[in-house]
Structure 1
């Protein structure tokens, strides 16, 4: 919970990781890619305030204690949602796995929700393992990485028939929140494999699922907005938007937030710090303090209200994941004013 100027904010960090990219975990013969991946991640950290930057050895593999401190002791986070990324082609035990996330969550009840992942290229065997993970960890969401390498394949599409089978299984199991990385690429993955165009297809076909587009499709922000505004079950995941732009590119951040608010609206924007690329503390505090600049070129966009920021920082994600919000941190119901001369019935 974060409090500022008498206002209390319930914070759900809907995009967090507990990874191991240390050299001991690199696959033999794939060291170039394992090393390059985490170094690219580390470079993104440079978009945050200088005092929050980490040395590369800590960034490759950080401790449970550090994560708990950064999120819950000083980071203002009430609940965090793990978003796994396997990358087993480069990392022996996986980069950021459901199993590692689940073990940490079990040690700290009430702090984390565990999402899992799937890869439709794994076929029936992968489907069985996916179902087992969902039941074991109580997953309400799944994180998809359409650009992940597997053998000679350098990605897959949500339009693939095999992907549809897995999404049908999501509906069957009650895994209603589908998070898809659709944003900045990370070396050596292919930028085009993260294109947002396949989301439109499945959002229409699977009305019982919520599709949270992580990183809002950057740099394809306009493509995303024009798609998301006409798909009622598409949401914007703000990981990278806040962490990557608010400090380093404030004017671009204002434009992106303005477009998202105009086209998609306050009820469909989901905060995520993207730890450990960026720590949540400065993002939560900075977002509460932030408002739309008064520049003429941004005059199309309205300022954000306190209630809108409360929705974005936690209440929207709480609604998607059925997280219980303390009564004092919920939005107040609007007052009802009876018309003059009309008695109550």
Structure 2
């Protein structure tokens, strides 16, 4: 199967720039543990730390059914000194395991930064990124700065540059507002103009359906270059299956099954219980009686990997055949283990055992001056 989004996280007092970062990091920890099924809660010392590429790899390859993973970096430099999800660990992951196992590494820029365009060029030329993950808002001095795709001075130049660089793939965070940014900036309305202006660009709605469900389903129905990425939304299948049924049914009915990408978000999320829950999941009879199509094994296979492969220009049958015969490092590691490790065994407990109390990155920067 294909993991639609993986990251390494760096959530710690040492990396936090302001109190909003502290609240964001602590809030994420509470949310992910509230949503994980029993037995999959993450200890704080495995969250409030700087993850490594090796930890992410072992979590995916040894603790789950994931065969192939797409890496997303982020640029939350309004909260975290290194952006929270570093690009260099994704590059390291692909260098170690190859572009068959890690076919996509998404770069990230702050669109309102003076060096945004130059940084895009650098990431494509030096890091070989395949596209860019963006956020629609930036926090500065208590205000929300607009970074929406349809902003002609901000988002549009970024898309134009991605096309020029030959990586016409843009993914945007569209739910769960970070810190005290205005939630209105997170809606999917800016994707309508962008998808219409740039039909050659692939746009991913990240966290699709978790918020703005009606708007997202109409996007899928009208724009063939818009895809639904289920990162975090997939959590609902295990802990709130009725809500998951509503979200998935709407996306399927309006957009069809071909552009829905399974995605969980390790290392913040343990993918295995969600994968298992989804494979066993069926729509309740009430929805089937109202015209929702049955969730067949064929549709599940599409969502769990075939769609992502097609989006990346790969033939699912060819990839499946290669997986049966491949004897790379991942295959060897799996062959050597007698059984799967306990959940989170791959993440080393090197962080703080308590939630963050204060930001230190800014304090350190001030002291360095």
User: Is the shorter-chain TM-score for this pair beyond 0.5, marking a shared fold?
Assistant: yes
Contact persistence 1:142–1:177 (CA under 8 A)? yes
- Among residues 16, 19, 27, which one is paired with 1:40 in the alignment? 27
> Aligned equivalents of 2:263 and 2:292: distance in 1?
23
8 A Cα contact 1:44 1:277, kept in partner = no
Which of 5, 13, 16 in structure 1 is aligned with 2:6? Answer: 16
Matched, 1:165 2:154: no
User: CA–CA distance in 1 between the matches of 2:54 and 2:15?
Assistant: 20
* Preserved contact between residue 268 and residue 316 of structure 1 (Cα < 8 Å): yes
Residue 134 of structure 1 deviates from its aligned partner by 1.4
1:275 corresponds to: 266
Matched, 1:199 2:191: yes
Q: In 2 relative to 1, CA 153–191 (structure 1 residues): closer, same or farther, beyond 3 Å?
A: closer
Note the alpha carbon deviations across 1:166-225, whole angstroms, 9 max, x for none: 111111122122111112223333311211111101000001101110111532101111
Q: TM-score, structure 2 length as denominator?
A: 0.80
Determine the structure 2 residue equivalent to 1:97: 86
Structure 1 residue 132 corresponds to structure 2 residue 122? yes
Contact 1:40 1:186 in 2 (8 A): no
**Aligned residues of 1:177 and 1:210 also touching (Cα < 8 A):** yes
Aligned residues: 315
SS of match in other structure, 1:115: strand
What is the alpha-carbon distance in structure 2 between the residues aligned to residue 127 and residue 88 of structure 1? Answer: 16
Which ranges in structure 1 are unaligned for 5 or more consecutive residues? 1-10, 331-345
Please state how far the C-alpha of 1:325 moved relative to its aligned partner: 4.3
The answer for the alignment partner of 1:117 in structure 2 is 108
Task: Look up the SS of the partner of 2:205 in the other structure.
Answer: strand
Residue from 38, 42, 47 that aligns with 1:59: 47
Equivalent residues of 1:49, 1:247 under 8 A apart: yes
Say if 2:130 is the partner of 1:143.
no
Q: Note the C-alpha offset of 1:298.
A: 6.2
Q: Which moved more, 1:184-193 or 1:169-178?
A: 184-193
What is the alpha-carbon distance in structure 1 between the residues aligned to residue 220 and residue 195 of structure 2? 9
Moved over 4 A (4+): 150-153, 323-326
SS in 1 for 2:35: coil
Aligned: 1:107 with 2:99: no
* TM, length-normalised to structure 1: 0.85
Over aligned residues, Cα RMSD in angstroms?
2.0
Is the partner of 2:69 in helix, strand or coil? strand
Separation in structure 1 between the aligned mates of residue 77 and residue 286 of structure 2, nearest angstrom:
47
- 1:261 match: secondary structure: helix
Q: Secondary structure at the match of 2:61?
A: helix
Q: 2: distance between equivalents of 1:154 and 1:55?
A: 34
Matches within 5 A, 1:213-232: 213-232=205-224
Q: Which residue of 1 aligns with 2:363?
A: none
Structure 2's unaligned 5+ residue stretches are: 322-369
Q: Work out whether residues 11 and 84 of structure 2, in 8 Å CA contact, stay in contact via their aligned partners in 1.
A: yes
Give the secondary structure class of the aligned counterpart of 1:272: coil
**Compared with structure 1, are the counterparts of its residues 298 and 16 closer, same or farther at alpha carbon in structure 2 (3 Å cutoff)?**
farther
Greater RCO between the two (CA within 8 Å, min separation 6)? Answer: 2
- The separation in 2 between residues aligned to 1:281 and 1:156, in whole angstroms, is 34
CA 1:328 to 1:168, structure 2 compared with 1: closer, same or farther past 3 Å?
closer
Please point out which of 280, 299, 302 is paired with 2:290: 299
